[in-house]
Structure 1
Amino acid sequence: MEIWVKYALEYLNISLSVYQQEQFAVYEQLLLEWNEKFNLTAVRDIGGIRIKHFLDSLTCTKALGDLNGKNLADIGTGAGFPGIPLKILFPEMNLLLADATGKKVNFCQHVIQTLGLKNSRAIQARAEEMGLSKEHRERYDVVAARAVARLPILCEYLLPLVKIGGVMIAQKGETAADELAQSKKAIQILGGKNQSILSVSMPFFEDRRYLVLIQKASATPFNYPRRTGLPSQKPIL
């Protein structure tokens, strides 16, 4: 635990309190235990969890800054990344975790309850359905996703959920620039503006990691997102 905490300070200028370190330790143990029964994540070793999940999730702070008091939705969260690590770091943040797979949502609910994460919940839902719901449409300051889909598809998943003046953030690898170039039409149609890419360095990662940010400038047209499955089948290109 000490080594990755050191990396958080060295690479991200994040200083974790003793209590936050304890929360990450419990989260790590729960992930190891549940992975023995369910396929929550392909990363199963302690070192991989700490770097490829915890530290990688916290790289979002390089682009987003202090999230306390903000409403963040993590779409396709899986085992809670990047949402839960960000919530541990920013306890006054309001967190929604969403995933289409029930066992992953159950795990996230268990983590929330075990860690006592206030103003946090996990729901089983698809992004297309959320984007058409009054409860979720254009309600969030930040909407995040990690390893969910290519960016033209992801824009249709995330931008309808972002409030005007808010931002969507996608964690990407080496294809980030190409994906952003392919997303120009989708961004314009869906109300996005002012795209940017931020490179982040990580220990033990051979490939560079990137944060793609897209600001929400205007309301998403009511005919988006399209019905479930269509954004991935026929992306806006």
Structure 2
Amino acid sequence: MTNSTIPLLPEMAEIWQQTLNWQPNAQQQQQFQQLYELIVVGNRQLNLTRITDPQEFWEKHLWDSLRGIAPHGQFLSSVSENAAVIDIGTGAGFPGIPVAITVPNCKMTLLDSTRKKINFIDEILTELSLSNAKTFIGRAEEIGHHPQHRKTYDIALIRAVGNAAVCAEYTLPLLKKGGLAVIYRGNWTEEETKSLQNAVNQLGGVVESLEQFTTPLTKSIRHCLYLRKVVNTPGIFPRPVGVPTQKPLSVQNDNNY
């Protein structure tokens, strides 16, 4: 599907190369364009994103999605080796769909609890012929206990979902030992690092790195946190639906719940 009334995305080949040491091939650029068009059209029925300007979409949805899997400007080697990847709370498909387009060898699962959004993403996957991605309707608190998902993934991506301790509780149970959680954040403080550390310790992980970077067009400051799973997560985690957000692990510990 193409829509002549929707503008073309900028190609930004130089910026891709300078920031990620990569640039999309012609097919990937076409898939990015199709994704953009489908989301602009889908936005008329579903509240998917407020970001529809082509340059803003490129920076905040495409570039930002891929920057998360490319710390220090290099794609994670683990993401390309037939890695099992899950995008938790994918919403309109970010960061999972751009990652699936960019890394065709990975096996991407797009998780969201909203059926309408998942139905829409299924249409996108068909339109873009993305055979390496599939969807799943559910909540992280529930699938974290499902044998099909627990300890199954090499990489877990999570963007714009709860605070960092909540994100850790959603991601770490799903990872294999040695797996990596990538938490996309805007602002970040030293205080948050301490409370996250507390949560991650309980979940069988370590904070491997925290990266601050600047977006290429608007020069906004963003952060990505990388959590490595080092031992199995205790069976009580993730806690039931609603509990992680109401009583984040770090707060729970500090207040002796």
After TM superposition, is the score higher than 0.5?
yes
Structure 1 gap ranges (5+): none
- Aligned pairs for 1:57-68 (under 5 A) are 57-63=65-71, 65-66=76-77, 67-68=79-80
Structure 2 gap ranges (5+): 1-8, 251-257
Matched, 1:48 2:59: no
Matched, 1:11 2:24: no
Residue 207 of structure 1 aligns to which amino acid in structure 2? S
Partner of 2:239: 226
Offset at residue 71 of structure 1 (A): 0.7
Q: Retained in 2: the 8 A contact 1:100–1:124?
A: yes
Q: In terms of mean alpha carbon deviation, does 169-178 or 100-109 score higher? A: 169-178
Q: Retained in 2: the 8 A contact 1:32–1:44?
A: yes
Matched, 1:109 2:126: no
Q: In terms of mean alpha carbon deviation, does 102-111 or 200-209 score higher? A: 200-209
Which of 11, 16, 21 is 2:29 aligned to?
Answer: 21
- Aligned pairs for 1:65-144 (under 5 A) are 65-66=76-77, 67-68=79-80, 69-144=82-157
What is the alpha-carbon distance in structure 2 between the residues aligned to residue 122 and residue 236 of structure 1?
28
Q: Retained in 2: the 8 A contact 1:156–1:190?
A: yes
- Aligned pairs for 1:130-169 (under 5 A) are 130-169=143-182
Partner of 1:37: 45
Equivalent position SS for 1:136: coil
What is the alpha-carbon distance in structure 2 between the residues aligned to residue 196 and residue 120 of structure 1?
27
Offset at residue 200 of structure 1 (A): 2.4
Q: Retained in 2: the 8 A contact 1:11–1:202?
A: no
Q: In terms of mean alpha carbon deviation, does 170-179 or 69-78 score higher? A: 170-179
Offset at residue 37 of structure 1 (A): 1.3
What is the alpha-carbon distance in structure 1 between the residues aligned to residue 76 and residue 160 of structure 2?
21
Residue 27 of structure 1 aligns to which amino acid in structure 2? L
Which of structure 1's runs of 4+ aligned residues deviate more than 6 A? Answer: none
What is the alpha-carbon distance in structure 2 between the residues aligned to residue 203 and residue 35 of structure 1?
26
Larger Rg belongs to: 2
What is the alpha-carbon distance in structure 1 between the residues aligned to residue 216 and residue 209 of structure 2?
23
Q: TM-score, normalised by structure 2?
A: 0.88
What is the alpha-carbon distance in structure 2 between the residues aligned to residue 23 and residue 177 of structure 1?
39
Offset at residue 95 of structure 1 (A): 0.2
Q: TM-score, normalised by structure 1?
A: 0.95
Offset at residue 4 of structure 1 (A): 3.0
Q: Retained in 2: the 8 A contact 1:77–1:98?
A: yes
What is the alpha-carbon distance in structure 2 between the residues aligned to residue 123 and residue 180 of structure 1?
31
Q: Retained in 2: the 8 A contact 1:176–1:210?
A: no
Matched, 1:216 2:229: yes
What is the alpha-carbon distance in structure 1 between the residues aligned to residue 165 and residue 205 of structure 2?
12
Q: Retained in 1: the 8 A contact 2:100–2:108?
A: yes
Residue 52 of structure 2 aligns to which amino acid in structure 1? R
Offset at residue 204 of structure 1 (A): 3.0
Q: Retained in 1: the 8 A contact 2:197–2:207?
A: no
Offset at residue 139 of structure 1 (A): 0.5
1:168-187: per-residue Cα shift (whole Å, max 9, x none)? 01011222543222112210
Q: Retained in 2: the 8 A contact 1:192–1:216?
A: yes
- Residues 37/6 of structure 1: CA separation in 2 closer, same or farther (3 Å cut): farther
Q: Retained in 1: the 8 A contact 2:151–2:176?
A: yes
